[in-house]
Amino acid sequence: MSRKPTYSFAEKRHSQKGITSTVLGALSAVICIVLVGIAMANGGKGGAYLGAIGMTAIIIAAAGLVTGLRSFKEKNRLSFFSKAGSMINGTILVIWLAIYLFGVR
């Protein structure tokens, strides 16, 4: 015996926190690419300004990761941007920490 299909007329929208998380991850990724390019052009001598901008980008990536993970709690929302933002921020955060630890060494 087959089940009757159930229909839902409620439109699911994308999670606002998930979109915010994705934007923060993209911002941190762009900052990472730009700063690495500038540091390479200067022969690895970035200076305090690039370091300060990099630390700010680490904070942005961490905030984006937290926002992305919190966005999964929203009800009746699509989770595409929540997943994408969490993955982007997690990856960028690992890259930033690797760059930071390599620089400390």
| Beta-carbon count within 10 A of 29 CB | 19
pLDDT at 100 over 80: yes
Q: What pLDDT shows up at residue 8?
A: 65
pLDDT class of 1 with cuts at 50, 70, 90: low
pLDDT class of 47 with cuts at 50, 70, 90: confident
User: Residue 14 belongs to what H/E stretch?
Assistant: strand 13-14
Contacts of residue 62, defined as CB under 8 A and 6 or more positions apart, other chains included, come to 89, 93
Q: What pLDDT shows up at residue 87?
A: 95
**Digit-coded pLDDT (tens) for 25-36:** 999 999 999 998
